[in-house]
Copies of this chain bind each other. A is one copy, B any other.
Amino acid sequence: MPLIPQTVREQVTNQIRNDLLSGRFPAGTMLREIELAARFGVSRGPVRDAFIQLSHEGYLAYQANRGVMVRHPPDPRDREFITELRLKIETYVIERGFEDKSDESVNSVELALERLKEACDSGEASQVAIRDIEFHQKILLACGGDDLVPTWRQLCSRMLLTYTRLGDYSQAYKEHVAIFEPFRDGDMKKTVAAIQANIK
């Protein structure tokens, strides 16, 4: 496993994203650069960069000269539509690039599956959410879907903001095993079907 040198900005971004997903910052909260910079022991620069990034990921709403606010989860009426779009993208990318996947990329998906298992075992909702997304993203990247990943990610991210309590994630893990196995074995149809069952 390669040592990934993480920049301060990335660490800050990941930490804030994690806090957002775990409900530490409720919707509507104003986030202050100074406050977070102090907490992480860094300057305002990277925090600022993280704000811009997370705004584009859909978690925060940016207002010039006024800072950022934690966005509300999508309107319940929109959730179904967003899910539909997400599924459409995943299906398209997989059907389009299923044959292109390499052994290496299959391995990276398997690694993501292991990380998801750890998160599920821990029972922490925010970690499960992050690893879940990561798993799906690895599959998309394996199928050459780089171009559509940013858009896809934006759709997923917002959905996650919905509060989820601690719980039993053994079922969720099983669903992802059911995605990985046909993916590894080269059965595209079953892979897509398993994903549809997982997301819907």
Contacts and interface: CB of A to CB of B under 8 A. Distances in A.
A192 B88 CA distance: 21
Interface in A1-44: 5, 7, 10
A10 B64 contact: yes
- Oligomer copy total: 2
Nearest to A148: B78
Chain A, interface size: which category? 20 to 34
Contacts of A196: none
B53 A56 contact: yes
A151 B74 CA distance: 13
Contact of A151 (B77, B96, B155): B155
B147 A75 contact: yes
Contacts of A96: 77-78
A52 interface: yes
A158 interface: yes
Contacts of A169: none
A150 interface: yes
Interface in A67-88: 74-75, 77-78, 81-82, 85, 88
A96 B75 CA distance: 12
A130 interface: no
A62 to B, nearest CB: 10
A52 B96 CA distance: 29
A123 B61 CA distance: 35
A89 B78 contact: no
18 contacts: A7-B64, A48-B49, A52-B53, A56-B57, A56-B150, A58-B150, A75-B147, A77-B96, A78-B96, A81-B92, A82-B148, A85-B85, A85-B89, A150-B154, A151-B151, A151-B154, A151-B155, A154-B154
Given A85-B151, A151-B155, 11 more contacts: A10-B64, A58-B151, A74-B147, A77-B96, A78-B148, A82-B148, A85-B85, A85-B89, A147-B158, A150-B154, A151-B151
